[in-house]
Amino acid sequence: MQGYRGHQQNHGPNRSGNQHKGEGPNSNGQQPEQSDKTNPNAALTLDMQSFRKPGEKTFTQRSRLFVGNLPTGITEDDLAQLFSKYGSASEIFVNKERGFGFIRLENRIIAEIARAELDDFSFRGRPIRVRFATHGAALSVKNLPEFVSNELLEEAFSVFGQIERAVVIVDDRGRPTGKGIVEFTGKPAARKALDKCNDSAYLLTAFPRPITVEPMEQFDEDEGLPEKLVNKNQQYHKEREQPPRFAQPGSFEYEYAMRWKALMEMEKQQYDMVDRNMKEAQEKLESEMEAARHEHQVMLMRQDLLRRQEELRRMEELHNQEVQKRKQAELRQEEERRRREEEMRLRNEELMKRQQEGFRGGFSDNREQEMRMHMGGHGMPMNRNSLGGSSGAAGAAGMAAESSPLMAGPGGGSLPVGGQGGFPRGLPVPGPGDYNKQRRF
């Protein structure tokens, strides 16, 4: 672990100048027992309620401490007893062989107090080293849009796992710098977010610029590197031969110092040029993006218009089909009505024809019956065929009947013998001009 590697490099046997007062040998030349040395913080307690912020998450990675240079044989209970003043701990781990451990306290403020009070504290004859443990599930987020807040950043990364903290970094005036920090509770969620954001383009707002995610580089900006922790090897003593000074013009070190300075100035100019080029490229890309966005919106509007026109055309086709169906139905109804009227007309004609035929047949039968009665009253033989208008023998018989004796009628005319001149009863007697009509009938 990173904290442990620092411990291995920076800590070795106790060096002179690092001993605390009272750690030297006693009058008998022996080291005092641990029972003889009391913890100055043992009798003190902290009011935990005073260090709790509203809504602050507890027992996070930010309150996890690395404890190095532990005495041999230290146990988890011993480490818990050492930090008992600072409240309960949710995680205690001790590597007895390598002499380091981890402990997680309730919140960041309490962990800072414990670190400040116990760092370089002599514990069982050895000064322990207390630092904040490396956060292995912390990510650095760059290219954040201007209007991204802490809450939006946390919401965006909560899809990958549980988050302890999400912060947008701002400058001294509170303006966003385009950078942020996301801390997960575990490494799997951080690895998932890192892989997913690097493999695809993750957008947080409407601005189509994806964010970049990297493992966060963690620095200790609070304590730095004290002199007592510097590795005092041979190179150390060689470098420390000369004190801090300004190079004298014309000297060897001045010449190369100026060359180094020119190189650093060139590096600065190169960085500035790269920054300018990147800014120009970003502005050009933004302008192209705005133009492309406008064209894209126009294309979407055109597609929407075409879609609406297609829907309107489909609706018109459906309406025309419906109108055509109604017209066809009306035509079928009209044809059906005409067919029924035609059938009705034919039936009426047939009925009228039958009625006319029945009237003619009944009239002929009545006339024949009356003629029989009339001729039978005069003792004349009667043949049925003599009364009809038949041709052949029937016609001759009819002519014979017409040649029967006639009676003198009014005006000197002759009438057939028998009754009313041979006409059926109830009919008017025809005049001289109606006789031919009577024969035709």
Give me the domain span that covers residue 145: 138-215
Residue 338 is assigned to a structural domain of this protein: yes
Closest CA to 165 of 179, 177, 175, 150: 150
- What average pLDDT does range 99-118 have in this prediction? 91
Which tokens go with 388?
A: 């009809």
Instruction: Kindly report, residue by residue over 344-361, the tens digit of the pLDDT.
Output: 999 999 888 888 887 766
Residues 128, 209 within the same domain: no
Residue 156 is assigned to a structural domain of this protein: yes
List, as one string, the DSSP characters of 24-59: S--TTS-PPPGGGS--TTTT----GGGGPPTT---S
Give CA–CA dist 66/2, Å, rounded: 10
Residues 273, 348 within the same domain: yes
Residue 222 is assigned to a structural domain of this protein: no
Residue 107 is assigned to a structural domain of this protein: yes
Residues 325, 304 within the same domain: yes
Give CA–CA dist 47/173, Å, rounded: 34
User: Greatest CA separation found in the chain?
Assistant: 202
List Cβ neighbours of 439 (8 Å cut-off, separation of 6 or more): none
Q: Which of 319, 353, 387 is the last residue of a domain?
A: 353
What phi and psi, each to the nearest 5 degrees, are found at residue 214? -140, 155
Residues 122, 161 within the same domain: no
Instruction: Kindly report, residue by residue over 180-219, the tens digit of the pLDDT.
Output: 999 999 999 999 999 999 999 999 998 888 999 999 988 8
Dihedral over Cα of 191, 196, 201, 202: its sign: negative
Is-contact 212 197, C-beta < 8 A? Answer: yes
List Cβ neighbours of 17 (8 Å cut-off, separation of 6 or more): 228
Which tokens go with 329?
A: 């139905």
Residue 368 is assigned to a structural domain of this protein: no
Residues 320, 247 within the same domain: yes
List Cβ neighbours of 206 (8 Å cut-off, separation of 6 or more): none
List Cβ neighbours of 91 (8 Å cut-off, separation of 6 or more): 59, 64, 102, 103, 104
Residue 428 is assigned to a structural domain of this protein: no
Give CA–CA dist 129/109, Å, rounded: 18
- What average pLDDT does range 141-166 have in this prediction? 94
Residues 344, 247 within the same domain: yes
Residues 109, 142 within the same domain: no
Is-contact 215 194, C-beta < 8 A? Answer: yes
Q: Which helix (H) or strand (E) holds 167?
A: strand 163-170
Residue 50 is assigned to a structural domain of this protein: no
Amino acid at site 260: W
Residues 253, 335 within the same domain: yes
Q: Which of 116, 132, 148 is the last residue of a domain?
A: 132
Residues 253, 341 within the same domain: yes
What's the whole-model pTM score? 0.55
Which CATH number do you get for residue 86? 3.30.70.330
Instruction: Kindly report, residue by residue over 266-289, the tens digit of the pLDDT.
Output: 999 999 999 999 999 989 998 998
- What average pLDDT does range 373-390 have in this prediction? 53
**Model pLDDT, residue 70:** 92
Residues 111, 144 within the same domain: no
**Model pLDDT, residue 437:** 44
Helix, strand, or coil (residue 3): helix
Residue 263 is assigned to a structural domain of this protein: yes
Q: State the total domains in the chain.
A: 3
Which tokens go with 91?
A: 């995680």
Q: Which of 41-55, 108-122, 238-252 has the lowest mean pLDDT?
A: 41-55
Residues 265, 339 within the same domain: yes
Q: Scan for tokens 């609706």, then name that residue.
A: 315
**Model pLDDT, residue 372:** 72
Q: Which of 333, 353, 373 is the last residue of a domain?
A: 353
Residues 250, 284 within the same domain: yes
Is-contact 128 18, C-beta < 8 A? Answer: no
Which tokens go with 319?
A: 């309406």
- What average pLDDT does range 67-78 have in this prediction? 91
